[in-house]
């Protein structure tokens, strides 16, 4: 089983990365919504790869592309959004993609930072949206954005994605997380881009995180190498209480098609601030393994959390406990 962390400020030293590998980490995700491969050259070549060699690990390097994912633009400083206050998206306010301004209508709810913040559109103008803050918090640059229940049309691969693919081989990229996959054509577009660059062996992990992806899951699974159940934005696209059942259904269909799947998002979210996980979190991990997950991935827990090594230790130990129980059940059957 593979255990992945996400690279970020909390794990940029050889010491922390060495401890993560010693804890059982087998690879790491690099979120390219915030940066580029070239900009991360020092981290990857002078820290990540040496730490892996020192630990005797041949690591996976997973790049998470931008794709059609929607994000807030770059802010000069974090913006506090107070509940009940007005927020402007677009011209003269918080920078957002033009496609968002065009697609949003009065009454729509807009999720920011994986639903940590929630806005309601009160007026839609040609170049901006006037919104009321329904759930406040601190908004930082490049955080995720979604119009709940609405899909905004955008290309499968951005120019930034193609630029990163151009140099992927030189950094030893092994896997690509393709965000917001809507159908097999999105996967095939990425496959062609990889083949053009001699990256035929790089594995495509198609992220299921919108309704179109769910509707076309079988064809996506047939075209991709792996499926990634990305519960953050998927939980924005559907009622949250339906998410556990949908996760189970995706897992069942992946098992039936013999396609590996990865489980990600908030596996140990509380450990961004606390050294010990909740009982619900370890149960979530355990059940994900029982459902057949081939890999588990931490995001903010290792990228920005206070306890990255402890989070990886709990992830690995909980998953291995589940694997042992599975093996014991098979022997007794």
Chain centre to alpha carbon of residue 301: 12
Number of domains in the chain: 2
What is the pLDDT at residue 274? 98
The CATH number of the domain where 94 resides is what?
A: 2.40.33.10
Q: Is the pTM of this model over 0.75?
A: yes
**Cα–Cα distances in Å, from 279 out to 74, 117, 247, 268?**
36, 25, 19, 10
* Contact of 58 with 150, CB cutoff 8 Å: no
Looking at the structure, do residues 50 and 181 belong to the same domain, yes or no? yes
What phi and psi values does residue 329 have, to the nearest 5 degrees? -65, -40
pLDDT band of 154, cuts 50, 70, 90: confident
Q: Is residue 98 a part of any domain in this protein? A: yes
**Which residues is 229 bridged to in the sheet?**
208, 263
Query: Smallest Cα–Cα separation from 299: which of 208, 230, 205?
Result: 230
The 10s digit of each residue's pLDDT in 244-293 is: 999 999 999 999 999 999 999 999 999 999 999 999 999 999 999 999 99
Query: Smallest Cα–Cα separation from 45: which of 66, 14, 9?
Result: 14
% of the chain beyond a pLDDT of 70: 100
- 84, 116, 147 — which closes off a domain? 147
Q: Is residue 332 a part of any domain in this protein? A: no
Distance in angstroms (rounded) separating the CA atoms of residues 114 and 48: 27
Q: Is residue 49 a part of any domain in this protein? A: yes
Which sign does the torsion angle of CA 300, 145, 38, 30 carry? positive
| Mean pLDDT computed over 228-256 | 95
- 115, 147, 179 — which closes off a domain? 147
Domain holding 88, by residue range, is 71-147
What is the pLDDT at residue 69? 74
Looking at the structure, do residues 40 and 179 belong to the same domain, yes or no? yes
The CATH number of the domain where 17 resides is what?
A: 3.20.20.60
pLDDT at residue 220 greater than cutoff 90? yes
Q: Is residue 138 a part of any domain in this protein? A: yes
What is the pLDDT at residue 114? 78
The 10s digit of each residue's pLDDT in 298-321 is: 999 999 999 999 999 999 999 999
The 10s digit of each residue's pLDDT in 21-49 is: 999 999 999 999 879 999 999 999 999 99
Looking at the structure, do residues 229 and 172 belong to the same domain, yes or no? yes
What is the pLDDT at residue 151? 79
What is the pLDDT at residue 142? 85
What is the pLDDT at residue 171? 97
Looking at the structure, do residues 117 and 261 belong to the same domain, yes or no? no
């Amino acid at each position: 089983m593979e255990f992945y962390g996400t690279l970020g400020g909390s794990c940029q030293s050889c010491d922390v990365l060495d401890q993560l590998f010693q804890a059982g980490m087998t690879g790491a995700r690099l979120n390219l919504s915030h940066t580029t491969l070239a900009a991360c050259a020092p981290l990857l070549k002078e820290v990540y790869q040496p730490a892996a060699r020192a630990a005797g690990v041949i690591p996976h390097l997973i790049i998470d592309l931008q794709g059609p994912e929607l994000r807030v633009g770059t802010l000069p400083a974090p913006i506090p959004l107070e509940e009940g206050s007005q927020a402007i998206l677009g011209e003269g306010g918080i920078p957002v993609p033009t496609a968002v301004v065009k697609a949003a209508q009065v009454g729509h709810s807009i999720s920011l930072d994986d639903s940590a913040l929630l806005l309601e559109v009160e007026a839609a103008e040609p170049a901006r949206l006037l919104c009321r803050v329904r759930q406040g918090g601190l908004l930082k640059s490049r955080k995720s954005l979604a119009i709940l229940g609405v899909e905004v049309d955008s290309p499968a691969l951005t120019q930034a994605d193609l630029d990163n693919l151009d140099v992927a081989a030189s950094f030893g990229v092994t896997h690509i997380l393709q965000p917001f996959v809507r159908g097999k054509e999105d996967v095939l577009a990425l496959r062609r881009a990889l083949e053009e660059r001699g990256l035929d062996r790089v594995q495509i992990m198609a992220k299921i995180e919108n309704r179109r992806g769910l509707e076309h899951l079988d064809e996506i699974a047939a075209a991709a190498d792996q499926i990634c159940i990305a519960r953050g934005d998927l939980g924005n696209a559907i009622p949250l209480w339906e998410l556990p059942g949908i996760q189970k259904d995706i897992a069942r269909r992946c098992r039936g098609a013999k396609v590996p799947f990865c489980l990600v998002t908030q596996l140990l979210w509380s450990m961004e601030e606390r050294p010990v996980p909740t009982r619900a979190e370890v149960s979530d991990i355990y059940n994900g393994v029982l459902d057949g997950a081939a890999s588990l991935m931490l995001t903010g827990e290792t990228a920005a959390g206070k306890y990255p090594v402890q989070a990886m230790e709990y992830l690995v130990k909980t998953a291995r406990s589940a694997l042992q129980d599975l093996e014991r059940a098979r022997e007794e059957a």
